[in-house]
A = this chain, B = another copy of it.
Amino acid sequence: MANIKDIAKHLGVSVSTVSRAMNNHPDVREETKQQVMEAIRLYNYRPNALAKGLIQKKTFTIGLLVPDISDPFPSSLSNAVEETLFEHGYQVVFGNGNRNSDKEKQFLLNAVERQFDGLILTPDYMDEEFSELLSNLEIPIVFLRRRPPAGLSFPFVDVDHYQAAKTAMQYLLELGHRQIGFIGMPQTSFIGNERLRGYTDVMRMHGIDPGPGHMILGGRTIDNGREAMGRLLDHNPDLTAVFAANDLLGIGALEWLAMHQIAVPDKLSVMGFDNLEYAGLYWIQLTTMEQPRREMGVRAAQMLLQMIANKEQAPESDLMEAKLVIRKTCKARLTH
């Protein structure tokens, strides 16, 4: 590959001049600039970003750590991040957390070695070591769909899961439901707990104290949802509605109900959370809470850009609102 010296030599000018011409420096004769551009084309020359980054202390590279590249949820969000950052001249490097604690740490280390300009993080494991690493990082960081570990004050963007769960529950109550079951995520999940809290609080506000018979926790997948639905109805045959903490769980519930010929929404209403692609399928038509994925991604990217531009002043975290998407799995309770 040709380098800047080659093209300087070719033109009989100094490398400084070539550099300035390439970078559109004002103090360079138009004619010289033209010649340089031509030589660049001729040699098929591309400036070495490593050398450039080394000296400018700026790489135009942003790291984006996602839990799992093949997970459909984060990927649409990643797209928004990537597009926003790309428009501003940054290349985003996806890190595959791979639901693996070591890989997440490895990514952080990589980011510092490679001199990334900023980081957007959706880590799954935030142990001591991770926090420790993070606190030494000296790079602008924003958390996406996660809260920073205790003691560290990085800005984040997330949905207000608690509020959203309340909205979902409110809807179910308006439809006349009182006996509402909950299919929840593992207790180790922050967002799972927020959604659970929304469920519980609304139930209590309406004078119902949801006991263990009202809920099955601990899952995330379609299989989990299917299994939970069966158990839930076993414990509590009076349920007229079920709130699933995520769509996969909700779809699993729907499966179980379909398998057992329990009509949805005539016999039982089902509410999901996320609004995955799945939810809109003809056979599913799940009523659910939609997370503003694109907006979250764009927002996180903008926040990071702002932090890079102004390292002093940290932006405010952003808690976004989820939107109720009404489809066909919830219905007013029959009053007999």
Chain A residues in contact with chain B, CB under 8 A?
Answer: 1, 44, 46-51, 53-54, 59, 68-72, 75-76, 78-79, 82-83, 86, 91-94, 96, 98, 103, 109-110, 112-115, 136, 138, 222, 251, 254-255, 258-259, 277-278, 281-284
Does B282 lie within 8 Å of A281, measured CB to CB? no
Does A258 lie within 8 Å of B282, measured CB to CB? yes
Which of B53, B94, B113, B278 contacts A278 (CB under 8 A)? B278
A199 and B179 CA atoms in complex are apart in Å by 53
- Which B residues are CB-close (under 8 A) to A1? 112, 138
A95 and B96 CA atoms in complex are apart in Å by 14
- Which B residues are CB-close (under 8 A) to A255? 281-282
- Which B residues are CB-close (under 8 A) to A283? 258, 281, 283-284
- Which B residues are CB-close (under 8 A) to A78? 69-70
By Cβ-Cβ distance, the 8 closest A-B pairs, closest first, are A283-B283, A70-B76, A49-B113, A255-B282, A94-B94, A49-B114, A50-B54, A70-B79
- Which B residues are CB-close (under 8 A) to A76? 70
Q: How many copies does the complex hold?
A: 2
Closest to A51 in B: B54
Closest to A115 in B: B50
Taking the closest CB of chain B, its distance from the CB of A252, in whole angstroms, is 9
Taking the closest CB of chain B, its distance from the CB of A98, in whole angstroms, is 7
Closest to A52 in B: B113
Taking the closest CB of chain B, its distance from the CB of A84, in whole angstroms, is 11
Taking the closest CB of chain B, its distance from the CB of A156, in whole angstroms, is 22
A53 and B49 CA atoms in complex are apart in Å by 10
- Which B residues are CB-close (under 8 A) to A50? 50-51, 53-54, 59, 114-115
Does B59 lie within 8 Å of A69, measured CB to CB? no
- Which B residues are CB-close (under 8 A) to A79? 68-70, 96, 98
- Which B residues are CB-close (under 8 A) to A48? 54, 113, 115
